[in-house]
Amino acid sequence: MVSINRYYKKDTARLIKFVVPKDKSKSFLIKDSHTEAKGKHDYIVLENIIGDLNDVQSYLSELKKNLNQDGRLLITYYNHLWEPILKLASNLGLRNVKHEQNWLDNEDIGNLLELSGFEVITHQRRLLIPVYIPIISSIANKLVAHLPLFNSLCLTTWVIARINKFVSGEMKPEKRQEYSVSIIVPARNEEGNIGNIVNSIPRFGKTQEIIFVEGKSNDATWERISEEAKRFTSTNIKVLGLKQKGEGKGDALKSGFKKATGDILMVLDADLTVNPKELTKFYEVLAEGYGEFVNGSRMIYPMEKQAMRTLNKLGNKIFSWFFTWILGQRFKDTLCGTKALFKSDYEWILKNKIFFGNFDPFGDFDLIFGAIKANLKVVEIPVRYRERKYGTTNISRFKNGLQLLAMTAVAFKKFKAW
């Protein structure tokens, strides 16, 4: 039987390897309580040292000077519920004897991070059985440990945080930066909506380009896009049209993103069920630094009567619960077609897409999973969901429902059972 210390250390090493992205351009520091931090880093890892510090708040406050403004702090620590068990393990020789430690719960850590000028991105738990028992340890730690109730009993707690830019002064009004914006509009059989889209989008950012990606329509969608492209040719507003070569919305988004030149990338569905005026809110979240990945949520405000069928609404709520549980950040609506992120973050997601593979026909989950893997701060914006005024939905409830189940399984395997 492997001791608790060895098993815990091995699992923590696996955790750090999973959470910290493989990127040679990033600077990493794994810090213990004795080594002095020097220079600036993109990632700082505090590997189970919080319990040994005399003054956690002062330590974290001082640590900020060694973390880049857009860097991430990863903290691993023992679940405070394990205090009596670990003391008993020390007495039985299953764990190296430790001096009296700080025992902090998630609320304690979150509060200390806030007081020190950080904000939490996510906190999660793992490792239900911290000793090796053939077969049993693997099943318990990869599957059972992630279930409700059992998860609260896990030994390892980990949190990812970033510097709060408002507290640090980075986001003072005089430092506000404006960005160029590319708005990607996948459009298939949306002839009657195209003419209303460009005029409905408010003017924000330094410049805007609106990129329609036409998906082999059976109506005059491409002709309407061509007409819009001729109407807008100024330097501040450009309208472009692309003919999709592949199939599905996911492929359309990849084509549009590849063509985009803006600092910020946005997605807007051509069916106009979400008012384009809402895009201003998405831009402000990124420009003001409140978040790094912005996801629309249709599940908060009342919907128009025929906007979403009851079965679709129920399925959306179930899948949003699953993905919030699996991903560790809140998602109330995973399939809202309105999203925004920085192009630089999308490029990182694209470069590391091999982690998930090509399985997402919608395009939403490539972005969502990528944002989580990149440790981006997710913000959800409530939007009002309207009835279609033209055309019919391209969504098949049962076919796409099965695809969502498959993606839920992939997400669990990638983010939990590793």
Start-to-end C-alpha separation, the chain: 21
Residue 218, domain extent: 177-411
Residue 21, pLDDT score? 79
The continuous run of DSSP H or E covering 309 comes out as: none
Q: What is the CATH number of the domain that holds 25?
A: 3.40.50.150
Q: What are phi and psi of 67, to 5 degrees?
A: -115, 130
Q: Which two tokens stand for residue 205?
A: 């950012």
Same domain, 233 and 345: yes
Residue 1, pLDDT score? 42
Closest CA relative to residue 141, chosen from 124, 129, 157, 159: 129
The pLDDT tens digits for 198-255 are 989 999 999 999 999 999 999 999 999 999 898 876 667 889 999 999 888 899 999 9
Closest CA relative to residue 183, chosen from 314, 278, 58, 116: 278
Same domain, 141 and 181: no
The DSSP line for 6-66 is HHHHHHHHHHHHHHS---TTS-EEEE-SSSPP-S-EEEEEEES-GGG-S-HHHHHHHHGGG
From residue 148, how far is each of 85, 126, 133, 269, 297 by CA, in Å? 21, 12, 23, 35, 24
Q: What are phi and psi of 274, to 5 degrees?
A: -110, 130
CA gyration radius, the chain: 24
The continuous run of DSSP H or E covering 378 comes out as: strand 378-382
Among 168, 198, 228, give the residue marking a domain's end: 168
Hey, what amino acid is at 148?
P
* Residue at 18 is within a domain: yes
For the chain, percent helix, then strand, then coil, each to nearest 5?
A: 40, 20, 40
Same domain, 199 and 291: yes
* Residue at 416 is within a domain: no
Residue-wise over 355-387: b if at least 16 C-beta within 10 A, else e? Answer: ebeeebbbbbbbbbbbbbbbbbbbbbbbbebbe
State how many domains the chain has. Answer: 2
* Residue at 191 is within a domain: yes
From residue 54, how far is each of 50, 59, 66, 118, 383 by CA, in Å? 9, 9, 20, 19, 46
The pLDDT tens digits for 293-336 are 999 999 888 888 777 777 778 888 888 899 999 999 989 898 89
* Residue at 381 is within a domain: yes
> What is the three-class DSSP state of 162?
strand
Same domain, 222 and 363: yes
Residue 34, pLDDT score? 66
Q: Within 13 Å and on the Cβ side, how many CA atoms surround 356?
A: 28
Find the DSSP H helices in 248-357: 248-259, 279-288, 310-327, 343-351
CB proximity list for 400: less than 8 A, separation 6 or greater: 361, 362
The segments of the chain whose pLDDT lies below 70 read 1-3, 33-34, 97-99, 171-175, 233-235, 391, 393-398
Residue 33, pLDDT score? 63
> What is the three-class DSSP state of 113?
helix
* Residue at 417 is within a domain: no
Among 148, 168, 188, give the residue marking a domain's end: 168
Same domain, 275 and 162: no
User: What is the dihedral angle through the alpha carbons of 82, 83, 89, 92, rounded to the nearest 10 degrees?
Assistant: -150
Among 123, 148, 168, give the residue marking a domain's end: 168
Q: What is the CATH number of the domain that holds 233?
A: 3.90.550.10
Same domain, 249 and 379: yes
d(CA 321, CA 359): 21
Closest CA relative to residue 369, chosen from 353, 383, 382, 381: 353
* β strands within 59-154, DSSP E: 67-78, 118-126
How crowded is residue 59: how many other Cβ atoms within 10 Å of its Cβ? Answer: 16
* Residue at 318 is within a domain: yes
Judge contact between 400 and 315, C-beta under 8 A. Answer: no
The pLDDT tens digits for 98-114 are 667 788 888 899 999 99
From residue 97, how far is each of 8, 13, 48, 100 by CA, in Å? 15, 21, 15, 10
How crowded is residue 294: how many other Cβ atoms within 10 Å of its Cβ? Answer: 26
Same domain, 116 and 252: no
* β strands within 127-163, DSSP E: 156-163
